[in-house]
Structure 1
């Protein structure tokens, strides 16, 4: 007969070879009864793995082409030739084409960022927001920068509530003494435009208290003083 003990957690522990054999037999019976289901699940897993491997092979192949295309168009972007950068020129693909044609590649992802910046400069705020939201990065500087730019676009659209949301994301992401104060100042300005003077005062105070060596402190003190007079603090 099989012999089982129970451990302190209340789970049954199999100790004898007979008991182990019994469990194996149960597994065999289950497999026989459910053979189609088990094989179907196994086949689905194999197909999923194969599909993923094929996808990665395809993406890796696309990456080199996309990077070459992006390298060519970045020169136009840096020269502030925004229309050429976005739409391409001289047979070169533009940022919009790279972002759309090579989805899943790092180059496409970065093209979305560049395109968002260019469109923002052109005053095409909705398109800029769309591309910047399609961009994803774990880089502590670029990710926060993208969130701040989305905030800029919403502020230009006179939607300060939405701008506040993205400025907060930028300011709270991997805080640092160089860029966080800038994002906080933008946040405070958006809060003023949203008629939230008390919140703006608190944000200006964060700049002063948390980043005393920042060049933004002078303006933070000035704007906070004006607001405190308005809200009676």
Structure 2
């Protein structure tokens, strides 16, 4: 076992001198190994310096290109898209309030007075937030003009984390499937819409639709669960009164 020796200690015996020589040799060997490793690394770097610089340069170009794209292309394009969509949104809002609304929805979709409609916004600015939002508007416009498959396609393309728009889009797909007579698909989307967010507006709304659809599909027990959830957890929602009526009907059918 090695013993601790003070700094400056001089070996007195032959054994100690041999030990000191061995320690010195081992230390020298370690440093020689490190030196050899460093030399090999330096040689490798020197040999491959051209390729290293190319890789580093490529990474730098990608990063700078991305930052430049965001600042000088994407951000201005997003602002331009929002400005272009103003007239289409105006037509859509007029259509919602009007009794004869098909022509206004068509203007919202296809544009008018030399301005873009939602379809143009999607085609020209699809990668921007405005382009994404245009998918929602286009889907709702198609839903309200009875073009249900187109409504499904555009609403499905819309992506959002918004507490209202996300479940509204998902539930509207359910509405389109109902109109197409595909109740099983509609029920799936209503359930997804109800579970996406927990609030007093969209949750009871789509729970009620899920309950009615389940009842029509003969899934009475499932329907009872939806109606009970509304009456117990969302008693202040406007859907609560209808849910209570449907609950009584569903329980009588069990």
What band does the TM-score fall into relative to the shorter chain?
A: 0.7 to 0.9
Name the CA distance, whole Å, in 2 between partners of 1:99 and 1:115.
9
Counterpart of 1:205 in structure 2 is 228
Gaps of 5+ in 2: 1-25, 96-103
- Of 209-218 and 97-106, deviating more is 209-218
Q: Deviations over 1:63-91 (max 9, x none)?
A: 22211111122111111110111101111
Q: CA deviation at 1:18?
A: 9.5
Counterpart of 2:4 in structure 1 is none
Name the CA distance, whole Å, in 1 between partners of 2:251 and 2:34.
76
Counterpart of 1:77 in structure 2 is 92
Gaps of 5+ in 1: 3-15
Q: CA deviation at 1:93?
A: 0.8
Counterpart of 1:117 in structure 2 is 140
Counterpart of 1:64 in structure 2 is 79
Q: CA deviation at 1:31?
A: 4.4
Say how many residue pairs are matched: 218
- What's the TM-score once normalised by structure 2's chain length? 0.75
Name the CA distance, whole Å, in 2 between partners of 1:32 and 1:193.
76
Change in 2 beyond 3 A, CA 1:225/1:96 = same
Name the CA distance, whole Å, in 2 between partners of 1:161 and 1:145.
19
Q: Deviations over 1:126-145 (max 9, x none)?
A: 11111112212221111111
CA RMSD between the two structures? 2.7
Secondary structure of 1:45's aligned partner: helix
Name the CA distance, whole Å, in 2 between partners of 1:51 and 1:114.
32
Moved runs in structure 1, 4+ residues, more than 3 A?
A: 16-44
Q: Deviations over 1:110-130 (max 9, x none)?
A: 111111110100111111111
* Pair 1:45 & 2:59 matched: yes
Counterpart of 1:95 in structure 2 is 118
- Of 159-168 and 182-191, deviating more is 159-168
Larger Rg: 2
Of residues 210, 225, 229 in structure 2, which corresponds to 1:187?
Answer: 210
Q: CA deviation at 1:29?
A: 5.8
Of residues 150, 172, 177 in structure 2, which corresponds to 1:149?
Answer: 172
Q: Deviations over 1:140-191 (max 9, x none)?
A: 1111111111111112111122222221222112201232111110111222
Counterpart of 1:107 in structure 2 is 130
